[in-house]
């Protein structure tokens, strides 16, 4: 591998947060590098239709919106690199970031790695991925044209995937563990209006059934109010039960709470000086394309201010300093959520009352 490339700002993540951070940092003249992964666009690119992004009144596909932000970032001088980060060392500055083909030394980092689909956690789930189990209708829906499929979940993603799959599958069964949906009313109304979607609540998938070739052929369902069980034959199971923040390689260096990177209540600063976090990886509450984009903007501004006015001393190696350690007294703003709740429930960055109903959310 060649010598590390030295950059002022490295952005990790190619979703609305990462691309927007790249856009702002590029426009600020920081010539940032954005490592977008091999699956660029993040979760947004998998949304069939995005109708709630301001300035796009007629809606567009997530992939189109994502690509537009990406192009805008490139237009302002950001270098967007299709590669995966496979290692980081944040124990000293400049921070070291290793991808599959390159390595970088970065003065500041914006972590915008988003989230990954939450699995059901059932035996055989892993081995059946790509053999009937999928987590993205937009990506894999066409494989099930004319077949019966099941979608699991009760949020916007599950209902959106059901609507989308109803266009290609012969029949869609939407399985949700509660009788109330978490999805927006407008999405629920649209799903209920489609004859090809059967809604089964309150049901859970209890077992995955495979044929002799190792492909999914059915599921065992349980009715949570009656306890009755039944087997449904299906070629495809789309799991849409939320996402886990992709903290991965960064978790050992940063404060994490309930799976998310902890950020300051007033900025995108993490617990480590010079590292900023934006988008779903640090957000358990809003998780919208527009809020991810907004926090990407904030992270770029925070990083720029820190690079310009902070006490960073060029490419010399020095120990990274946790933000909390260099702050004093009541001005400390970096609170873990439990502490924040004690100070003021109105400013709790993580607690989401809607999620109190579930035991499986992080």
- Is 89 among the residues known to form the active site? no
Q: Are strands 216-223 and 256-257 parallel, antiparallel or unpaired?
A: unpaired
- Is 34 among the residues known to form the active site? no
Q: What is the DSSP string of 206-218?
A: EEEEE-TTS-EEE
The CA distance from 242 to 6, in Å, is 37
Phi, psi of 112 (to 5 degrees): -135, 55
Beta bridge partners of 235: none
355's tokens: 């999620």
Which residue bears the tokens 């959310």?
A: 361
- Is 217 among the residues known to form the active site? no
- Of 7 and 150, the one with the shorter C-beta distance to ligand NDP is 150
246 binds ligand NDP (CB under 6 A): no
CB of residue 188 to ligand NDP, shortest distance in Å = 11
295 binds ligand NDP (CB under 6 A): no
Within residues 87-146, the interface with ligand NDP by CB under 6 A covers 120
189 binds ligand NDP (CB under 6 A): no
Task: Single out the segment in contact with ligand NDP by CB under 6 A; choices: 130-138, 175-183, 327-335, 343-351.
Answer: 175-183
177 binds ligand NDP (CB under 6 A): yes
**Catalytic residue from among 107, 140, 280, 302:** 140
Nearest residue to ligand NDP by CB is 155
> In sequence order, which residues have a C-beta less than 8 Å from that of residue 183 and are 6 or more positions away?
154, 155, 156, 158, 159, 160, 191
Interacting residue with ligand NDP among 157, 246, 292, 335 (CB under 6 A): 157
Evaluate whether 44 touches 67 at the Cβ level (below 8 Å): no
Active site (catalytic) residues? 136, 139-140
> Residues in the site for ligand NDP, rule: CB under 6 A?
47, 50, 52, 120, 152-158, 160, 177-178, 182, 204, 240-243, 287, 357-358, 360
């Amino acid at each position: 591998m060649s010598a590390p490339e030295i950059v002022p700002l490295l952005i990790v993540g190619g979703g609305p947060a990462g691309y927007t951070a790249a856009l702002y940092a590029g426009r600020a003249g920081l010539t940032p590098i954005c490592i977008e992964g091999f699956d660029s666009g993040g979760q947004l690119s998998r949304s069939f239709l995005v109708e709630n992004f301001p300035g796009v009144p007629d809606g567009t596909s997530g992939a189109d919106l994502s690509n537009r932000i990406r192009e805008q970032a490139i237009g302002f001088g950001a270098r967007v690199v299709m590669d995966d980060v496979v290692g980081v060392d944040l124990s000293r500055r400049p921070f070291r970031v290793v991808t599959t083909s390159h390595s970088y030394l970065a003065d500041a980092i914006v972590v915008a790695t988003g989230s990954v689909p939450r699995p059901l956690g059932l035996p055989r789930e892993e081995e059946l991925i790509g053999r009937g189990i999928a987590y993205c209708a937009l990506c894999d829906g066409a494989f099930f044209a004319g077949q019966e499929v099941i979608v699991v979940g009760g949020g916007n993603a599950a209902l959106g995937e059901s609507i989308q799959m109803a266009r290609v599958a012969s029949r869609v069964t939407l399985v949700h563990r509660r009788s109330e949906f978490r999805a927006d009313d407008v999405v629920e109304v649209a799903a209920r209006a489609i004859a090809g979607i059967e809604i089964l609540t309150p049901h859970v998938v209890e077992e995955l059934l495979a044929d002799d070739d190792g492909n999914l052929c059915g599921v065992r369902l349980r009715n949570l109010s009656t306890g009755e069980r039944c087997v449904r034959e299906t070629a495809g199971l789309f799991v849409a039960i939320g996402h886990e923040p992709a903290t991965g390689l960064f978790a050992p260096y940063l404060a994490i709470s309930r799976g998310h990177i902890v950020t300051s209540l007033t900025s995108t600063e993490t617990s480590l000086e010079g590292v900023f976090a934006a988008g779903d990886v640090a957000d358990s509450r809003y998780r919208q394309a527009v809020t991810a984009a907004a926090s990407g903007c904030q992270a770029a501004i925070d990083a720029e201010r820190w690079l310009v006015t902070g006490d960073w001393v060029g490419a010399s190696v020095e120990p990274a300093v946790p933000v909390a350690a260099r702050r004093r007294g009541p001005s400390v703003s970096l609170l873990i959520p439990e502490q924040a709740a004690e100070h003021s429930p109105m400013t709790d960055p993580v607690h989401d009352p809607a999620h109190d109903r579930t035991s499986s959310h992080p």
